[in-house]
Amino acid sequence: MILPQSFYRRSTLSVARDLLGQVLTHETPQGIASGVIVEVEAYLSKKDPGCHAARGKTPRNEVMFGPPGHAYVYFCYGNHYLFNLVTEKEGVPGAVLVRALEPLEGNALMAERRGREEGSLLVSNGPGKLVQALGLGRAHNRMAAFRRPLYVREAQRAAPVGVTTRIGITEGSELPLRFYLKDNPYLSVRPGSDRPSPGKKRRLLSVKK
């Protein structure tokens, strides 16, 4: 079942936790690519200096103030795009950054897009990597993420959830707003470490489709 728009019309923290174990899917002319969401970060509407909306609405972040369940895609550090899902009720800015996926469908396509060997952790163990692997980009900013071709579908959670601080930001970095499936090999950074996870092959997570 595709998660409905109402799923995102809740507190950012609730959405962030509940996205873990669900399947992010993108249908393209080249084929379907999907992955289990194994790591996210929450960006809150209040008292969160790390949130893009902390200083008010701008042309860049205005999608965060719009209807929930839409994609917020932006270019980061002049290097890669990042994919977020807008949360909260309309007018209240909030979003969840998807940080890592475990490939589920279209493994060969995802690996080809990344220029990696199929089965490598480096295909999608990071927020910029997964965007490239799924074939996402600037054109998907503001797109509804609760209907085809871009959506999250319900699946069975396969592991307990861990909580730690966010990664790669300066303001608000001390807040415990990063959530992840414990012991998953596709995490972008291992808990308690500032080093990326290694890039060797691992057995794929078993998820009920």
Domain edges within the chain: 5-181
The answer to whether residues 5 and 69 touch, using CB atoms and an 8 Å cutoff, is: yes
Which stretch, 34-48, 164-178, 188-202, has highest mean pLDDT?
A: 34-48
For range 94-113, the mean pLDDT: 98
Q: Rounded to an integer, what distance in angstroms lies between the CA atom of residue 168 and that of residue 49?
A: 13
For range 17-27, the mean pLDDT: 97
What is the pTM assigned to this prediction? Answer: 0.91
pLDDT digits (tens, 9 = 90+) for 49-64: 999 999 899 999 999 9
According to the model, what pLDDT value does residue 132 have?
A: 98
Top CATH class of 5-181 equals alpha beta
According to the model, what pLDDT value does residue 168 have?
A: 87
Helices vs. strands in the chain: H and E counts, helices first: 4, 9
**In terms of C-beta density within 10 A (0-12 exposed, 13-18 middle, 19 or more buried), how is residue 158 classed?**
middle
The type of residue at 102 is E
According to the model, what pLDDT value does residue 172 have?
A: 84
Residue 197 reports pLDDT greater than 80: no
pLDDT digits (tens, 9 = 90+) for 183-193: 999 999 988 66
Residue 157 reports pLDDT greater than 80: no
For range 67-94, the mean pLDDT: 94
Residue 209 reports pLDDT greater than 50: no
In 5-139, which ranges are E strands? 23-28, 31-43, 71-76, 80-86, 95-105
